[in-house]
Amino acid sequence: MDGVTTLVGQGLYMALAAVAGLGIARLLKRDDTLGCLIAGVLAGILLPVFDYNTGLRAENIHQLVFFIILPVLMFQSAWKIDPDILFRWLGPALLLAMVGVPICILITAALVYFGVHQPNDFPWLAALLTGSILAATDPVAIVCRLRRTGANDELLTLVEGESLFNDALAILLFSLVVGIATHSAMEGAVATGESINGAGSFALYFVAVFFGGLAVGTICGLLTAIVILFLRSAGAALVVLVLAAFGSFYLAEHVVGVSGILSVMICAIVARACLREQQETYLAHAAPTWEWLGLLFHALIFVIMGLVISFDMFAQHWLAMIVAIVAAIGARGLAVFLVAPLARYVGPPITHSWRLILSWGGLRGVISAALVLSLPTELPYWSTVQAMVFGVVLFSLLVQGTTSTRLIRKMES
């Protein structure tokens, strides 16, 4: 019972810090994420005063992130997108993700690798890890600003849809690179317990994991819709949806051995599309439920980030942070402007103003923070990668997030 009591106390401490962060954001009139980050820093300062241990360790954050937080965040992001408008922009969104994300990762990795220029302490694998983490974008702040400026639903869906597929692919590539890096560092097996040797085997493994995740997610989404229609209850529908978020991830990741993140995302999209006529009946409470769940986990991630951040991190890695910021912004802009002109061949064209919004509005937030917090500590360069990603996330919050409103108004005028 002592262990359970301690766990509950630790959860309550972080939850209270998250609520305090929402209050700080309200007082400062800033984004909730920034308020929760500040609250996390303050909570960390108060730990010695209270002589309290949160129980958070770098080695156990990975389980918290991948088994609890990411499934909820991905399901919530996919669920809130209108399926009809998403299908219209599916081609451009997939193009920006499938082509743009690898371009963004490679450009970021190259700039970071040669910018840091410490081959012994920061090898190419570390640069690829940094690139895959920073390829994930967080549209929450930019979407809020787009709504306030009266942007149309087409732009909102493109931004959210592109970010959704972007995040899923970035998380998948991150998992694969982490597996290879861990295998190299520990001379063990990759996360799935299999060895990936050579470019051909890696490509085959990636295809199997990718399309396997899509298949499992489709089946789970159809089953979710069937069960909800059978139960015919708004309360039961919420239980089934939450179970689908965790169950589709577990089934894909641990039973079938494919991408759990892709499975969660497709499960939400398929279920929402199949149940589109039930928005006012069985799904009447689904939107607010996923909204508060998403808010809670967003807040907790930034509270944890605040607890981890230290002054020494900035003192030791300030140059690497600057390199990462320049690399992340430059790579995102190049990827969008290289790929966006091709959108007219697979769907509606993306205008020049929308390309600027996609580039500058590609903020790094909760997904990037969650991924870097889950890095295995046996990697000798994990602290450097963590510092670089934190630097980019802070830049997104303090600079990109605060200047995007003016850009949006100018582009939309």
CATH of the domain at 138: 1.20.1530.20
Same domain, 299 and 379: yes
Paired tokens of 307: 């607890």
Choosing from 12, 28, 55, the residue where a domain stops is 55
Same domain, 338 and 361: yes
Measure Cα distances from 324 to 219, 321, 336 in Å: 39, 5, 18
In a domain, 217, yes or no: no
Q: Which domain holds residue 8?
A: 1-55
Cα–Cα dist 14/40, whole Å = 8
Q: What is the 3-state secondary structure (H, E, C) of 300-336?
A: HHHHHHHHHCCHHHHHHHHHHHHHHHHHHHHHHHHHH
User: Which pLDDT score is estimated for 4?
Assistant: 67
Low-confidence residues of the chain: pLDDT under 50:
1, 188-196
Same domain, 95 and 151: yes
Same domain, 361 and 298: yes
In a domain, 227, yes or no: no
Same domain, 105 and 46: no
Same domain, 192 and 87: yes
In a domain, 245, yes or no: no
User: Which pLDDT score is estimated for 137?
Assistant: 85
DSSP 349: P
pTM, 2 dp: 0.85
In a domain, 222, yes or no: no
Same domain, 30 and 167: no
User: Which pLDDT score is estimated for 236?
Assistant: 93
Helix axes 260-274, 153-186, angle to 10 degrees: 160
Same domain, 311 and 354: yes
Same domain, 74 and 157: yes
In a domain, 267, yes or no: no
User: Which pLDDT score is estimated for 2?
Assistant: 58
User: Which pLDDT score is estimated for 12?
Assistant: 83
Helix axes 260-274, 70-79, angle to 10 degrees: 30
Which strand (E) or helix (H) includes residue 20? helix 2-28
